[in-house]
Structure 1
Amino acid sequence: MAAPTTEEQEEFLLSCRYGDLDEVKQFIDQFGAASAAEIRDDNGNTALHMLCGNGHADVLDYLLPIIPPTLLSAGNSAQSTPLHWAALNSHLDIVKKLVQFPGGPGIDLIDNKNAAGRSPLAEAELAGWDEGAQWLVQMMKLDPGGNVKEGEVDDANDPAEGDDAPLAPEDIEIEIEDADGQMAKMRLGAQQ
């Protein structure tokens, strides 16, 4: 396969940005998924940054199975990942697809910090996107000391619950450090 020209690469990124699935498919047919995975703009943004930041789930569904899973955690020049962009722009469907993609990094994506020291969760909070922040927190797990840990929910400190009794989201309150270093309390499932 021939390598795409600079103009063809720019057109591909624009197709991802604007959600033009037919153009994306045409590029993949002509140049291959490996070529698409290597393309970056002047700020280091990938095709995933473009489509995740703009909420194009159909293009994401097409590209996820054919690109390297490492692209999900690729940072741009500001070290922001596609998940950062999806969270910043309040695209819950995209956030879920990125975190839950079977071949990808999974919940580890939530811990990636950009150059400003913010995780995708912090970006969601700064954007005032409570629904997304709550979903991201629900995907995280808490260790017995109350610290955020992947994979578990702690109910050991609740005397009303048995060791194996599940907690409802509204029964969980967590503290999260925001981008300014301030501690914020959040109750899962609480409507605001």
Structure 2
Amino acid sequence: MAPSPDEQDDFLLACRYGDLDDVKLFIEQHGGSAAESVRDDNGNTVLHMIAANGHEDVLSYLLPLLPNAPALLASQNNAQSTPLHWAAVNAHLPIVKTLVEFPGGPGVDLIDIKNAAGRSPLAEAELAGWDEGAQWFVQMMKLDDTVKEGEADAEDAPLEPGQEVEIEIQDADGKLAKMTLGGSPENT
């Protein structure tokens, strides 16, 4: 039997407040598939609620019981934020790690999803001033590594005298800053 709207609301609240007993009761009565379909008026899933509030025990219990957990991990609410965005905004490192490292899930690709404001979970961590989380995201990200084994990497080679290299750095707001490295000593 499908859960009533009241049962769904109660389940969302149990996830939000970390009431593991009520979460278990809902799963026993309705199963993981029913849990996946529960959303609030803003499109937040149960994973959004758990991630925002840092309930590790609830996440550890519930995540393996969700038949479509990989899809739910990447689920976006009305503001296009994922549960990982919410965990990043609220500085919940154990939750962040669990979401990204979930076996069979999207993995580090979750870090690249942007919300309606154009921010990734990494950008949200930076904006919140959460250095530990931002550093973890950067360590986990897939960086473009196109150099084949045995080939020299031009980026690792020292600059020749007079050689200039222009680099661009993107900040958390998506703004680009350009910088020139090298050149002749009188230009530095």
Report the Cα offset of residue 38 of structure 1: 0.2
Residue in structure 2 matched with residue 72 of structure 1 by the alignment: 73
Residue in structure 1 matched with residue 171 of structure 2 by the alignment: 177
Residue in structure 2 matched with residue 38 of structure 1 by the alignment: 37
Report the Cα offset of residue 143 of structure 1: 2.4
The CA distance in 2 between the partners of 1:7 and 1:83, in whole Å, is 27
The reply to whether residue 7 of structure 1 matches residue 6 of structure 2 is yes
Report the Cα offset of residue 71 of structure 1: 0.3
| 1:43-54 pair list within 5 angstroms | 43-54=42-53
The CA distance in 1 between the partners of 2:71 and 2:174, in whole Å, is 29
The CA distance in 1 between the partners of 2:87 and 2:50, in whole Å, is 9
Report the Cα offset of residue 178 of structure 1: 1.6
TM-score (norm 2): 0.80
Report the Cα offset of residue 176 of structure 1: 3.9
The CA distance in 1 between the partners of 2:49 and 2:60, in whole Å, is 14
| Larger Rg, first or second structure (1 or 2) | 2
| 1:51-62 pair list within 5 angstroms | 51-62=50-61
Q: Quick one: structure 1 residues 183 and 57, their matched pair in 2 at CA, closer, same or farther if it must change by over 3 Å? A: farther
The CA distance in 2 between the partners of 1:113 and 1:87, in whole Å, is 13
Amino acid at match of 2:15: C
The CA distance in 2 between the partners of 1:7 and 1:79, in whole Å, is 25
- Unaligned runs of 5+ residues in structure 2 are 147-151, 159-167, 179-188
Residue in structure 1 matched with residue 125 of structure 2 by the alignment: 124
Instruction: Name the SS of the counterpart of 1:142 in structure 2.
Output: coil
The share of aligned pairs that are identical, in percent, is 65
The CA distance in 1 between the partners of 2:105 and 2:143, in whole Å, is 22
Residue in structure 1 matched with residue 149 of structure 2 by the alignment: none
Q: Quick one: structure 1 residues 183 and 136, their matched pair in 2 at CA, closer, same or farther if it must change by over 3 Å? A: farther
